[in-house]
Structure 1
């Protein structure tokens, strides 16, 4: 049985007293939006008041109080969420015991959505996103303070003829740019402890997820191993009572589009540029891509033929993950913690449904009895990798 411990930090300062009052924790990490969480604290009568109710650090408000939930598994620390307090709810029971205070959190991408901007951007996607994350801000505003992890795209926006115009807040703009370029935008966290004290490092990722290869100058695509040998293994029907999955449900949809047909654009010199997207480019998470008939769908958009190809390729890649699964496991059974954006390997689900899956969402539910993880998974192939 692993040694599992939890720590609560408020405004980046660990608080053992607050940690001892935690009754429940629930955190959801997803590839499609912000990480969210709720932490429920048991409260009791303390003099003429209830403990924790007057703790200003647990209130939402203009100060953006931050709360961090850390799980330690055999000494290895995992940040489940680091976010700002957005809501609080109090429940009072006559006499005190049974009362609770619950705070709700969202990750700090929320601070990027507070100011609408009108701005023309030029340069590569990496330069634009990095500039937004850590560049200069208008007077009176703070930098977001994220560590950028940005992978570039082949599109470059030119200030003379092809600027990228922003009319929305920074979060909506970065998410829109991610969708156009086949990337995702998310935040994860790590903690640093040592002589300098306790610190939470927030890394803002703008890149494809799962990762995908790109062509090199010689024209071939290098192999990419999506599920390394150290990937967590989720097992069913082991026969020895040591399966790590409590449940597993899977479904497939064979009507997803898998090609675009021709895409044409008028170039700046008046000539017609032709391109197409013959199929998804993500490596298969399994032995074979799903066997489907031709399903053509094309995204019509402005921009060059290169940009149109990139958008259509991104849409086909997303559509190719037509096999979806839900499952439940626990930290106690797995002896580890899972996060969204990971690739895991399922074993014992038969020749078609066993294999590698991409974690689209992980919901952590922690109470005094267990730390359960509800998983939403997807894949673009069938069968286990050879």
Structure 2
């Protein structure tokens, strides 16, 4: 029995490679999507052919796709960068795991030295992404790095630089691919106002969860104060972020739940009010996620494929914890019997 997947090598479907014994794909917020494909090992004429197969060797680009409801979804596309090998004497019970990541790993291979002047953060990101052939899904940023103030300095890989700018602005950065291999690089804040992609159900009729673990911690800042000196005009730049800039998943956000002020002072250097505001909002967005949940289900039980950076609804968890959550991670574990999804959720509110 097959895994119900399709695998393409350098853009070309390969019918042999779908004969894997197991497959894992891990999507995690602010990290590259990784994959692992396990194959049983056969010994032939004194050698082990799969260990020297060019299709699974250094730099080979694999795409892993799965059909769901007449739509083919690409779970990941990217290069092979490692093998885990287990050999048993005589061959029986031997296996190899093919390890790889999405193509963002290519952006992390070279350290760059660049000075970005008279640009916004989003302009720099757009320029970098154009060098890698991605379709850019980039949200505009406000901070302008002018030559006569502080230019934007890059002394790291392109991926490290983009992730730094992403965190500074309260954004996420991730790569997606469609079934044709066309890739989109996303650089933007979480989209929390859309409809849920699926419903997780527990304690109600027709459940698709056996269990879910939920935890919360409200010891997070809910506001930011920032005071800087404009080095050109010598005027004070005074910025305050008194509430989260993103939509609340629930009736009550963190600040209304705590009922008090929990502030943090932003001391990072900034050129203008826009830069200081963006950094402050980024800090509050990062602190905003005070609820975490984890659960698992199968594709058969849920009837939908869960992806990171989407909204999913939890039902049957009581009035406080039922509602929409943001998917911060999914681990797809696929074998001959099932496609299991281990799901990580975050939320910045409760009720409703």
| TM-score tier (shorter) | over 0.9
Q: Distance in 2 between matches of 1:376 and 1:83?
A: 23
Q: Which residue of structure 2 aligns with residue 232 of structure 1?
A: 198
Q: Which region of structure 1 is more displaced relative to structure 2, 155-164 or 42-51?
A: 42-51
Note if 1:91 corresponds to 2:86.
yes
Q: Which residue of structure 1 aligns with residue 57 of structure 2?
A: 59
Contact in 2 for aligned 1:25/1:366 (Cα 8 Å) = yes
Q: Distance in 2 between matches of 1:173 and 1:188?
A: 19
Q: Distance in 2 between matches of 1:8 and 1:374?
A: 22
Gaps of 5+ in 1: 135-142, 193-199, 212-225
Q: Which residue of structure 2 aligns with residue 15 of structure 1?
A: 14
Superposition pairs for residues 133-282 of structure 1, below 5 Å?
133-134=129-130, 143-192=131-180, 200-210=181-191, 226-228=193-195, 231-239=197-205, 242-261=206-225, 263-266=227-230, 268-282=232-246
With CA pairs under 8 Å and 6+ residues apart, which has the higher RCO, 1 or 2? 2
Deviations, residues 351-380 of structure 1 (Å, cap 9, x unaligned): 001011001111000111111111111000
Note if 1:300 corresponds to 2:267.
yes
* Number of aligned residue pairs: 346
Offset of 1:51 from its aligned partner?
Answer: 4.0
Deviations, residues 152-195 of structure 1 (Å, cap 9, x unaligned): 11112223333211111111111111111221111011112xxx
Q: Which region of structure 1 is more displaced relative to structure 2, 25-34 or 152-161?
A: 152-161
Q: Distance in 2 between matches of 1:54 and 1:267?
A: 60
Contact in 2 for aligned 1:265/1:305 (Cα 8 Å) = no
Offset of 1:267 from its aligned partner?
Answer: 5.5
Offset of 1:93 from its aligned partner?
Answer: 2.6
Q: Distance in 1 between matches of 2:62 and 2:322?
A: 38
Secondary structure of the 1:5 match is: coil
Q: Which residue of structure 2 aligns with residue 138 of structure 1?
A: none
The root-mean-square deviation of aligned C-alpha atoms, in Å, is 1.8
Q: Which residue of structure 2 aligns with residue 214 of structure 1?
A: none
Gaps of 5+ in 2: none
Q: Distance in 2 between matches of 1:74 and 1:271?
A: 59
Contact in 2 for aligned 1:247/1:329 (Cα 8 Å) = no
Are residues 58 and 272 of structure 1, via their aligned partners in 2, closer, same or farther at CA, if it must alter by over 3 Å? Answer: same
Offset of 1:310 from its aligned partner?
Answer: 1.3
Contact in 2 for aligned 1:4/1:74 (Cα 8 Å) = no
Q: Distance in 1 between matches of 2:51 and 2:239?
A: 62
Q: Distance in 1 between matches of 2:92 and 2:14?
A: 22
Secondary structure of the 2:18 match is: helix
Offset of 1:38 from its aligned partner?
Answer: 0.6
Secondary structure of the 2:160 match is: helix
